[in-house]
Amino acid sequence: AAQSRLKLSDVPVGIVCVSYSDFLRHTLPQTLRGFSDVTIITAEQDQGTIRIAKTLGAKIFVSDLWFQNGAAFNKSAAINQWLSSQPLAWTLILDADIYLPDAFQLDVAELNPQYLYSIPRRICELEWDWVCPENQRREYPLAIPPVRNGRVWRRPTSQPAALSGYFHLWNRGTAGQPFYPPSPNAAEY
């Protein structure tokens, strides 16, 4: 019964953001429109991300585990550290470069608490591909080199995509911990 009363907007969201404040500046306001409990998971040295999170009203969780023991980017250790401070309930993890669509909704009561949920995404090469009318959007391969000047945007579409680390929604009270702690980088977590 408690699950049926839970709204998606009440699900805690952890957004992983280290050195992606250029994306976060655009995506965080959209996430804050749909969710009431949003935390940015970052590193102490990423003052740009911390500044944006404070300005826009998101919570901030600073981890020192990103590069511990020679890891290039131990995303899972930082996520797990944040998760240990959260209740065992429905939880959503997003990457900083994910822009959820305006009409993004899920009925949490309809979700199976034993499953890990992801969503399909659309990868755009240019900002225009992200903001243009639907009938003018071009499709790009899912694997493209990252562009750090703000020209690559991601958002979900109806196109199928593999389960990927940019969006994880699951009930931690029943489905456990999906992140592999000793990950040497973000690709292997």
- pLDDT-above-70 percentage for the chain: 70
Look up residue 187 and give its two tokens.
């690709």
Length of the chain: 189
The dihedral sign for the CA sequence 97, 103, 109, 114: negative
pLDDT band at 31 (very low <50, low <70, confident <90, very high): very high
Look up residue 159 and give its two tokens.
């196109």
Write the DSSP symbol of residue 96: T
Rounded distance between C-alpha atoms, residue 9 and residue 35, angstroms: 4
pLDDT band at 147 (very low <50, low <70, confident <90, very high): very low
In 3D space, the residue among 171, 20, 166 whose CA is nearest the CA of residue 89 turns out to be 171
User: pLDDT higher for 133 or 125?
Assistant: 133
Look up residue 9 and give its two tokens.
């907007």
Question: Is the CB of residue 133 less than 8 Å from the CB of residue 124?
Answer: no
For residues 135-150, give the mean pLDDT. Answer: 50
Of the ranges 73-77, 88-92, 163-167, which one carries the lowest mean pLDDT score?
163-167
Of the ranges 17-26, 135-144, 171-180, which one carries the lowest mean pLDDT score?
135-144
Residues 160-187: pLDDT tens digits?
344 455 888 889 888 766 676 666 666 6
Other residues' Cβ atoms within 10 Å of the Cβ of residue 78: 29
pLDDT value for 162: 44
pLDDT value for 153: 37
For residues 124-137, give the mean pLDDT. Answer: 71
User: Which residue in this structure is represented by tokens 């399909």?
Assistant: 120
Rounded distance between C-alpha atoms, residue 186 and residue 44, angstroms: 18
pLDDT value for 51: 98
In 3D space, the residue among 97, 101, 96, 95 whose CA is nearest the CA of residue 152 turns out to be 97
In 3D space, the residue among 141, 108, 120, 97 whose CA is nearest the CA of residue 12 turns out to be 108
User: pLDDT higher for 117 or 141?
Assistant: 117
Rounded distance between C-alpha atoms, residue 40 and residue 36, angstroms: 13
pLDDT value for 145: 36
User: pLDDT higher for 146 or 66?
Assistant: 66
Share the mean pLDDT of the chain.
Answer: 78
pLDDT band at 118 (very low <50, low <70, confident <90, very high): confident
For residues 23-46, give the mean pLDDT. Answer: 94
